[in-house]
Amino acid sequence: MSDAVPPSTSLPAVEIAAAVRRGERSAVEVLEEHLAVIHEREHEIHAFNLLMDDHARVAAAHVDRQVAAGHDPGPLAGVPVALKDNLCTSGVPTTCSSRILEGWCPPYDATVVARLRMAGAILIGKTNLDEFAMGSSTEHSAFGPTRNPHDPARVPGGSSGGSAAAVAAGFAPLALGSDTGGSIRQPASLCGVVGVKPTYGRVSRYGLVAFASSLDQIGPLAPTVADAAAALEVIAGHDPLDSTSVPEPAPELLARLGEGVEGLRVGVVAELMGEGIAPDVRRRVEAAADALAEAGAKVDDATVPAATYGLSAYYLIAPAEASSNLARYDGVRYGLRVDAPTTAAMNTATRTAGFGAEVKRRIMLGTYALSAGYYDAYYGKAQKVRTLIIRDFAAAYESFDLLLSPVSPTTAFPLGAKAADPLTMYLSDVCTIPSNLAGDPSVSVPFGTGDDGLAIGVQVLAPALAEATMLRAAAVLEDAVAGNHPGGRR
């Protein structure tokens, strides 16, 4: 590991919000403190594609005026929040880290962005990502890679690597990412922060630039489980603008974090603990299982047989949906336009210049999987495998309340180590993809370090809409890794 300066830390979001609401801290003061940290290390980390300094200062001053007038600005009052750069933000460039959206400013806010504003949060910038969220290292960005704050020679994970790095470096107490196959949880694990993928439909996707619409979900990254729970309470809940939104109010999460795991049945997923998982990662998952058992949970081995086919099914379903979703970038309606003598030539020239190699690779794979003569053999069969995965998870949840597994097979790998080998890179998501295919929630919780001293997260998985139970277990693990239970000690 390098001799890099360790990441900065900031107060938890819930503490900042409480202090601002009581008038003990100024939102402007909190913002300037975080901007100072950003300006000190951003050149080294590159977590952001765009800083929204001026917008943020106006918003922070407004929060302070509300407090001075005796009004409550909301549950995230004065909390700086970083937004993944695939979330539409009114009047602010939203690039998806792609040249093809060059110069495009959305005329509206994504629902989650609007809800953060209403909760008093201060939006400080748009974070870097793998182009159109396609990647596991944040190296596939038109604006260059993001670096891991714990060791800038290594990746932060992806595709929400900028958001994870922003939280890990102390640039923001909260960030939002999107998770299609592990893009919140895997970078959370590699950067040593908490990352939540909610149940599909729990959080509105309105205003999220689509990658794979049946898989995409927005969720928070935070330094603590409580902060992640507070953010999820704000952004969750039904949205009539999203036809896939679950018609339920936002769940109560923060108030239930202290309920513990006494009597809960927890299964360690055997299929996600075998070949390809580094020994130090496996040991941390086993230690997490011990910690839950010591806290009163009943822990046993679990099996989700079809999970072993998750990677294969995902890399047909997700590219197929991406091929359809990205057809809209044609040089006419959004962003970049490369002129040519005919419309067809202009479309081709624009897409050739605007899309990076990984996006082109997935578009071609998806188009092939959807083409006449191959649809049933590839896309249709992948959807049948997805059904098997859903059934196997449902069967496992008949015997267990929660499941436990690794998040990433390894700790953070060096920049460039897997960039030239897409198949090796894709294996980074082998443990996270199954819950995307099932639509169930899961969370990455920091649980110590590996043999190289780098962060390792463990994954708690839950049945649909069981975020409250899932986060209770995550809070127990967070407590355990601090040394309050022997199973959590390194």
Whether 84 is catalytic: yes
Tokens 């890990």 locate to 168
Cα 114 from Cα 111, distance rounded (Å): 5
Nearest by Cα to 272 from 287, 282, 257, 261:
282
Choose, from 97, 98, 136, 159, the residue flagged as catalytic.
159
Residue 55 structure tokens: 């917008």
Choose, from 84, 126, 197, 418, the residue flagged as catalytic.
84
Residue ranges with strand state E in 260-347: 265-269, 298-302
Cite the DSSP H helix spans in 46-110: 53-68
Cα 386 from Cα 321, distance rounded (Å): 14
Collapse the DSSP code of 85 into the 3-class scheme (helix H, G, I; strand E, B; otherwise coil) and give the result: coil
The DSSP string of 231-242 is HHHHHBS--TT-
Nearest by Cα to 143 from 125, 157, 121, 162:
162
Residue 421 structure tokens: 């080998």
Choose, from 183, 189, 323, 428, the residue flagged as catalytic.
183
Cα 70 from Cα 132, distance rounded (Å): 42
CA-to-CA separations, 75 to 120, 260, 400, in angstroms, rounded: 7, 24, 33
- Asked whether 296 and 480 are in contact (CB, 8 A), the reply is no
Cite the DSSP H helix spans in 219-278: 225-235
Residue 369 structure tokens: 């999987």
Tokens 């008038």 locate to 23
Cα 33 from Cα 344, distance rounded (Å): 51
Whether 323 is catalytic: no
- Cβ contacts of 12-16, under 8 Å, gap ≥ 24: 12/173, 12/223, 12/224, 12/226, 12/227, 13/76, 13/79, 13/173, 13/174, 13/222, 13/227, 13/230, 13/231, 14/224, 14/226, 14/227, 14/230, 14/254, 16/78, 16/79, 16/173
Whether 137 is catalytic: no
Residue 73 structure tokens: 């600005």
**CA-based torsion, 225, 196, 73, 248: positive or negative:** negative
Q: Which residues are catalytic?
A: 84, 159, 183
